[in-house]
Amino acid sequence: MSEPIGIRPSVSDATRRALETVGDHLIPEAHGMPAAGSMDVGTTQLDAVLASRPDLAPHLERAMADANLDDIGGFVTTLESEDPEAYGAVTLAIVAGYYMHPEVHRLIGYQGQVPKDAQRLSEAEIFQEGLMDLAQKVIERGPIYRPTPTTEGAI
């Protein structure tokens, strides 16, 4: 690919701190779930995100360069309207860092995209109980394709 996975672009400490602060605003601790800042969205998780998406780094730096973190809600609203690309990078970096964290995976009951045992979708999985009975009822309702000058037998 054009941007090799594994290269970690530099993001300033100030941007990292700002990202954690904004992250805590967007995804706060609530309803049994931790806040984004406590899930390393400005540190190790950000490194993981940027390793895969180095293109986000300049947008994050630009977004956070003039961030007024005394009014985070106002900052986020303004960023969304005035620099949607930077807003997209900030929300993606926070969300991705959060939902790629193993602790968050544990809390939401997600184990990744787990392949089923290779090779073998069982007969019971393919022909689930009731499938063929339901399909038979569709057949019994008759053809639904529209006849054309060369098509016989349709309704």
Partner 1 sequence: MATKKDQADVLIVGAGASGGIAARYLAEAGLSVVCLEQGRWHDRSEFRGTSPDWEITGRKQWFPNPTIRDLPQDYPLNEDESDIAPLMFNAVGGSLILYAGVWPRMLPSDFKVRTLDGVADDWPLTYEELQPYYERTEADIGVSGLEGDPAYPPGAGPPLPPLPLGPGAMNIARAHDRLGWHWWPEPNAILSRPYQGRNPCVQSGTCQQGCNEGAKATTDQTHWPIAIEHGAKLITGARVRRIVTENGLATGAEWIDENGQEHFQPADVVVMAANSIGTARILLNSATPECPDGLANSSGLVGRRLMMHPFASVTGLFDGDLESWQGQFGCSIESFEFYETDESRGFVRGAKWGLAPTGGPINMALPARAGESEWGPNHHLLFRERFGRGQSWGLFGEDLPNEDNRVELDDDLTDSSGIPAPKIIYKVAENSRKLLDFHIEKASESMIEAGAHKVETDSLMRYSGWHLLGTARMGDDPETSVVDRWGRSHDISNLYVVDGSVFVTSSGTNPTSTIAALAMRTAEHMAQDRFNQEVAV
The residues that touch partner 1, with contacts defined as CB under 8 A, are 1-3, 5, 25-28, 30-33, 48-49, 51-53, 55, 76, 91-92, 95-96, 98-100, 104-105, 108-110, 112-121, 125-128, 130-131, 134-135, 137-139, 141-154
**Cβ contact 94:23 at 8 Å:** yes
Q: Supply the minimum distance, in Å, between the C-beta of residue 123 and partner 1.
A: 9
Q: For partner 1, which is the closer residue by CB, 13 or 155?
A: 155
**Cβ contact 68:3 at 8 Å:** no
Q: Supply the minimum distance, in Å, between the C-beta of residue 10 and partner 1.
A: 19
Buried b (16+ CB within 10 A) or exposed e, 52-79: ebbebbebbbbbbeebeeeebeebbeeb
Q: Supply the minimum distance, in Å, between the C-beta of residue 32 and partner 1.
A: 8
Q: For partner 1, which is the closer residue by CB, 68 or 114?
A: 114
Instruction: Specify the DSSP class assigned to residue 34.
Output: -
Q: Supply the minimum distance, in Å, between the C-beta of residue 91 and partner 1.
A: 6
32: number of Cβ within 10 Å: 6
